[in-house]
Amino acid sequence: MIIFRKIKTNIIIEVYMTTKDIKNQVGATLLELVMAIGIIAVIAIAAISYFNTANDANKVNDEVKNINTLSAAIRNMFNSQGDYAGLTKTVIIKSGAFPDRMRVGSSLTLIKNSWLNDGVDVAPVNAAGTANDSFTITYKGVPERACVDITSKTFRFYDKVAVGGTQITGSASAATLCQPGANIIVFTAR
């Protein structure tokens, strides 16, 4: 029994000394503080970078869907007419098939993309030799990375996809033609 009491007493003394040492420590050292701030900064930078990358990818996917939906709406609306004479932003906005996510409030003259409120234009064109036989969807203000991704994902599904007036022929040409800053992409379809 005496041995047990000694062990018990030693434990109590050690706990008391440890608690006393903690009470005597006033705060963290400058080095510990700098290290903690550095770790928090690295975590914050990684989180922001991940969020921006994910957000950019979502914008690209949304815009590819918007382009395809808008193109289908235009084709369906003018299918029985035989050409695209009379196609304007107001006409397509008033149609029931126009994507709501591209609306700018109650405006009948603005179509938005992820980068600009007036970022999309539509117009009839003469692409195959007959007046108003095709139409264009013009995307304005598209950043370089998004331009490359959007054109790479869509060029096979349109008669012509051009950046800066030059036709995209593949992913390599998309990477070359899309420039830093705001790009203009023109999708031509029939």
The tens digit of pLDDT for each residue in 65-87 reads: 999 999 999 999 998 898 999 99
**Based on the structure, what is the number of domains in the chain?**
1
Percentage of residues of the chain with pLDDT beyond 90? 54
The tens digit of pLDDT for each residue in 12-25 reads: 445 444 555 555 66
The tens digit of pLDDT for each residue in 97-131 reads: 778 889 999 999 999 999 999 999 999 999 878 89
Q: How far apart are CA 190 and CA 58, in angstroms?
A: 28
E strands in the chain: 120-125, 134-142, 160-163, 166-167, 183-189
Which domain does 41 fall in, by range?
A: 3-189
Neighbours of 49 (CB within 10 A): 10
Hunting for tokens 């006033």 — which residue is that? 26
Q: How far apart are CA 104 and CA 102, in angstroms?
A: 7
Mark 155-167 as b/e (b = at least 16 C-beta within 10 Å): beebeebbbeeee
Q: What value does the mean pLDDT take over residues 3-20?
A: 49
pLDDT (0 to 100) of residue 15: 45
Overall pTM surpassing 0.85 (yes/no): no
Query: Which CATH number characterizes residue 91's domain?
Result: 3.30.1690.10
Q: Is the pLDDT of residue 5 over 50?
A: no
Count of residues in the chain: 190
Q: Is the pLDDT of residue 187 over 70?
A: yes
The tens digit of pLDDT for each residue in 130-147 reads: 899 999 999 999 999 999
